[in-house]
């Protein structure tokens, strides 16, 4: 499975953030797994090196694990990006992410 353009850009920016995290691939995988990540350590390392694709949800969990590490370091480094919708470049906030409505308006 090859990396698509969006995934490739997300991975590139992830790698840039990873350089500032002072974390081994094994420790990052453990953090990712603890957050519910389902890919194995081998697959995560292959993704980091651009050799394998990961589903968007797994990339987002991995990015979150890395961002938590950067937060622990109080690092001003750029944060790892999350997946985007793919059409307009905005974050995909999922179902129900539209503006809140007042129940009295219905």
pLDDT tens digits along 13-72 = 999 999 999 999 999 999 999 999 999 999 999 999 999 999 999 999 999 999 999 999
Q: What is the CA radius of gyration of the chain?
A: 16
Q: Which residue has the tokens 């987002």?
A: 60
Whole-prediction pTM value? 0.76
Separation of alpha carbons 68 and 102, rounded Å: 34
* Domain boundaries, given as residue ranges, for the chain: 5-72
Separation of alpha carbons 68 and 63, rounded Å: 9
Q: Encode 5-27 in three state secondary structure.
A: HHHHHHHHHHHHHHCCCCCCHHH
């Amino acid at each position: 499975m090859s990396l698509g353009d969006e995934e490739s850009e997300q991975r590139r920016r992830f790698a840039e953030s990873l350089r500032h995290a002072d974390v081994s691939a094994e420790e990052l995988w453990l953090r990712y797994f603890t957050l519910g990540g389902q890919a194995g350590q081998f697959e995560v390392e292959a993704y980091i090196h651009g050799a394998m694709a990961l589903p968007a949800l797994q990339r987002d969990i991995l990015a979150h694990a890395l961002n938590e590490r950067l937060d622990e370091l109080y690092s001003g480094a750029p944060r790892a990006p999350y997946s985007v919708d793919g059409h307009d470049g905005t974050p995909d906030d999922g179902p129900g992410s539209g503006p809140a409505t007042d129940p009295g308006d219905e």
